[in-house]
Structure 1
Amino acid sequence: MNHLFDIILPTYNNREELHACLLGLESQSIHDMRLLICVDGSMDGTMEFLDEYCSHTSMNIIVLQHPDGKNHGRNATRNLALPHVNARFVICLDSDAIPDPDFLEQHLCILEQGDCISAGDLTYVNAHKNHWAAYLHTRGKKRYPNMALIPFQYITTGNLGMPATFFIQLQGQDSAMRGYGGGDTEFAYRLHIAFNPNVYHAQLAIARSFMQKSINDALDQMEEFGSGNLRYIRAKHPEFTQLFNMNLVLGKGLQSRLIRVLLHPFLGSITEFLVKISPIGISIRLLPHAIMSRMLKGYQRIA
């Protein structure tokens, strides 16, 4: 074990954002780290950029890519790091996020407590303008104070710290999941089942990003998730009954039938229209209905 942190950075066609992320990692208050940059078939000059960058940086960097050089999805790409991980801790970080200078220091404060998970904060700098970013700022671990214990369902790999043994023993994420969504949820569930670790909100381990996704983009992705990876997770983990309350939504009782009526695509389309024309404060309150309507639409599309 040669270093404190192995930082896994999957990247796909975001060379400029990756560069900004690397500059943020150069500025860390803790330098005992190695970067495992996992390239997912990028066609924007990422490999050429990394060749030049690695030639002059003092950081310890390994650049990895798929043998065929093609795109295989975020999960399979992150798993390229598996044979190389030998640090005490693993940090998963999105390559379009810029970590604050004390990012690793804040994660370490939690991880040194034992076999636990440090769920860092992903802050969108344009959340005051982008409706989807504003919505995400109200969800999951964002509702909990710093150092609070949070449910495992709020684990996301955009900013996450864990003992390296967890990542290795689970063999990373499920590389069979190639479409949008659910990769973090499935990984979090396996973490919970295998280790049942305490999961802490590392609110001060901040990485900052710019949300480029529109409401239309986000809802299209939720429909894709419903038709693909949601079905996959339910088939792989049928005992995971709390997954988006789908057992209730798809049930045969009166309550389930009423829920499906309320989530009908026609009503969902009305909500979507209101989401797009409303101020952010109202939009984020309407979005849960639009999201569930799209997820159910996708799920039922191939039923």
Structure 2
Amino acid sequence: MFLFDIIIPTYNNYEELKNCLVAFEHQTIKNFRVFVCIDGSTDETLSFLQDYTYKASYSIRILQHADCQNHGRNATRNLSLPYVESEFLIFCDSDCVPRKDFLQQHHSILKQNNTVSIGEIIYQNANTNLWAAYLHTRGKRKYKNGQEIPFTYITTGNLGLPTRFFTSIGGQDATMKSYGGGDTEFAYRLHKKFSCNPIYNASAISDSVMGKTIPFALDQMESFGQQNFVYIRKKHPEFTSIYKAHLLTKSSLKARLFQCGLHPFLGIISETLCSILPISFATFFVGHAVGSRILKGYKKSTL
């Protein structure tokens, strides 16, 4: 049996996928298998994989949706559910390039009991891409390497966990096709069932290049507020801490003051500052712009 099964979802980015897969050739731990889960790609992904699987030094299995259409990352990762059987599971985004000790560093955490290893994605263009710079300041980055962190900071771009965690809760919620919240919903169900200990593993590194612009990322956050945020609130009404739902959706005095602070006009000011300030200063305003857009999307859903 393999020590690791690695799940890599991909959609129309075979050049990035190629770099990701080649990097796994150089891992210090060799006992692993890769599942490449194709989400309806229409580029050269499939032909590349059909050729590469014969050349790779490790086992690769190609999985696709029955209709070969796009179903979103959650459903795409779930393609692996019938087949994973290793002791541990790794989620790795296809635009990430794992460093040679990537699996070894995850294993150093996972061999402890009941743990989840939350790895690090380092964006090589964080000095020129504001969204990348913002991501480098938030979530798990507020904690020290090796520290236990809140489950809400679990993300699947670089994540290690016992395989039984994934299979016993039925994987990710495949009905969430649009952007945002899929990882948080998955993390909440993990937390409820296993009360696992999420560890920030800053030594399990994959490198990437961020392609999103701030306008594109904020449009995605607004879409999240209108769709998946509402869905998660209905599915898990007791999960009030998700994106400050207790303040975004209520009408108490505290909630109203919070919502006033995220008024669209103030959000536009933050977005404008993001577009004109140097990145080192602009990062301070991205979070406010994100919150404003989530609230804007949520308000649309209530009309």
TM-score by length of 2: 0.98
Q: CA deviation at 1:279?
A: 1.1
| 1:42 aligned onto 2:47 | no
Q: Provide the residue aligned with 1:7 in structure 2.
A: 6
Aligned to 1:242: 241
Runs of 4+ in 1 over 2 A off after TM superposition: none
What are the within-5 Å matches in structure 2 for residues 1-303 of structure 1? 2-303=1-302
One-letter amino acid of the counterpart of residue 178, structure 1: K
Deviation at 1:58, TM superposition (A): 2.0
Q: Which AA in structure 1 matches 2:110?
A: L
CA contact (8 A) 2:88 2:163 kept: yes
Q: Return the letter of the residue paired with 2:164.
A: T
Structure 2 counterpart of 1:267, one-letter code: L
Tell me the SS of whatever aligns to 1:207.
strand
CA distance in 2, matches of 1:208, 1:58: 22
Q: What is the CA-CA distance between 1:288 and the residue it aligns to?
A: 1.2
Structure 2 CA distance, aligned partners of 1:66 and 1:250?
36
Distance 1:135 1:179 in 2: 22
User: Which is further off, 285-294 or 256-265?
Assistant: 256-265
Contact 2:227 2:301 in 1 (8 A): no
State the 1:281 CA deviation. 1.7
SS of corresponding position for 1:84: coil
Deviation at 1:247, TM superposition (A): 1.3
- Residues 247, 259 of structure 2: 8 Å contact kept: no
> What is the alpha-carbon distance in structure 1 between the residues aligned to residue 301 and residue 149 of structure 2?
34
- The alpha-carbon deviation at position 249 of structure 1 amounts to 2.5
CA deviation after TM superposition for structure 1 residue 272, in Å: 0.4
After TM superposition, give the deviation of residue 59 of structure 1 in Å.
1.1
Sequence identity (%): 53
> Shift of residue 174 of structure 1?
0.2
- Which residue identity is paired with 2:80? A
Q: Name the amino acid aligned to 1:279.
A: P
Moved more, 51-60 or 70-79: 51-60
Structure 1 residue 138, shift from structure 2 partner: 0.4
Look up the SS of the partner of 2:82 in the other structure: helix
Distance 1:42 1:250 in 2: 37
The alignment's C-alpha RMSD in Å is: 0.8
SS at match of 1:9: strand
Deviation at 1:302, TM superposition (A): 2.2
Q: Distance in 2 between matches of 1:277 and 1:84?
A: 49
Q: Secondary structure of the equivalent of 1:212?
A: coil
Post-superposition CA distance 1:221-276 (Å, at most 9, x none): 00000000000000000000111112123222222212222211111111100111
C-alpha distance in structure 2 between counterparts of 1:44 and 1:188, whole Å: 32
The residue matched to 2:127 in structure 1 has which SS? coil
Q: Secondary structure at the match of 2:270?
A: helix
Tell me, in whole angstroms, the C-alpha distance in 2 between the residues paired with 1:172 and 1:160.
Answer: 14
TM-score normalised by L of structure 1: 0.98
Return the alpha-carbon distance in structure 2 between the equivalents of residues 45 and 159 of structure 1: 25
- The range that moved more, 132-141 or 275-284, is 275-284
More displaced stretch, 272-281 vs 258-267: 258-267
SS across alignment from 2:185: helix
Q: Which runs of 5+ in 2 are unaligned?
A: none
Q: Which residue identity is paired with 1:272?
A: E
Note the C-alpha offset of 1:160: 0.3
SS, match of residue 81 in structure 2? helix
| Deviation of 1:56 (Å) | 1.6
Offset, 1:134: 0.4
Matched to 2:143, the amino acid is Y
